[in-house]
Amino acid sequence: MSIEAGAFWLLVWLFCAFGAAWIAESKGYSFGVWAGLGFLFGPFAVLVIGLVERADRNVSLLREREKIEEKRAKHLAASKAAAPNAPPSKDDGSKVYEIP
């Protein structure tokens, strides 16, 4: 391989490193980690980070789930406090439901 070809591929890999890092940072992921991955894996890292969802979207979905669970726990506590001697209801929150 000639020096010009080696320099070309080095520039391509550096471009992939900074491209993957820039895309990752815009999606809320670590710039440094994705710069390293982009340098190691080249265009494959750019493709992967391009297809990955935004980090803040995953966090917002988890926060929404936590809010729902908090409301459910408050509702169960209030219903148990309203009738402390009543037998437990069919849905006391202790069952795990599977989604088919």
Residue 46 and residue 16: Cα distance in Å, rounded?
6
- pLDDT tens-digit readout, 71-82: 888 888 777 776
Residue 10 and residue 16: Cα distance in Å, rounded?
10
How buried is 14 (Cβ within 10 angstroms: 0-12 exposed, 13-18 middle, 19+ buried)?
A: middle
Q: Against a cut of 0.85, is the pTM above it?
A: no
* Residues 78 and 93: beta-carbon distance below 8 Å: no
Token couple for 16: 């992939």
- The predicted structure's pLDDT at residue 57: 66
Q: Is the pLDDT of residue 6 over 60?
A: yes
- The predicted structure's pLDDT at residue 15: 93
- The predicted structure's pLDDT at residue 98: 59
Q: Is the pLDDT of residue 60 over 90?
A: no
Domain residue ranges of the chain, discontinuous segments joined by +? 3-81
Q: To the nearest whole percent, how much of the chain has pLDDT over 90?
A: 32
